[in-house]
Amino acid sequence: MSSIRPFRRGDEPALAEICLRTADAGADATGVLADDDLWAEIFVLPYVARHPEWAWVVEGDDGRLVGYLVGAPDTDAFEEWFAGEWWPQFADRWPAPQAERSRQDGILIYAYGRRPGAEPFSAEYPAHLHIDLLPEAQGQGLGRRLIDTYAAALSAAGVRGLHLVADAANAGAGAFYERIGFDEIPAHDGVRAFAMRLESTPS
Percent of the chain with pLDDT over 70: 99
Average pLDDT over residues 11-36: 97
Domain boundaries, the chain: 3-140
HSE-CB of 92 using CA atoms within 13 angstroms: 1
**Distance from C-alpha of 110 to C-alpha of 165, rounded to nearest angstrom:** 13
Query: Residue 203 — very low, low, confident or very high, per pLDDT cuts 50/70/90?
Result: low
Sequence-ordered list of residues with C-beta below 8 angstroms from that of 135, at least 6 positions apart, any chain: none
Helices (H) and strands (E) in the chain, counts: 7, 7
pLDDT, tens only, 45-97: 999 999 999 999 999 999 999 999 999 999 999 999 999 999 999 999 999 99
Local structure of 92: helix, strand or coil: coil
Distance separating alpha carbons of residues 104 and 32, to the nearest angstrom:
8
Find the length of the chain. Answer: 203
| Averaged pLDDT, 117-124 | 89
> Does the structure show a pLDDT above 60 at 202?
no
Tell me the pTM. 0.94
Among 32, 31, 16, 57, which Cα is nearest to 169's?
A: 32
pLDDT of residue 134: 97
CATH code for 3-140?
A: 3.40.630.30
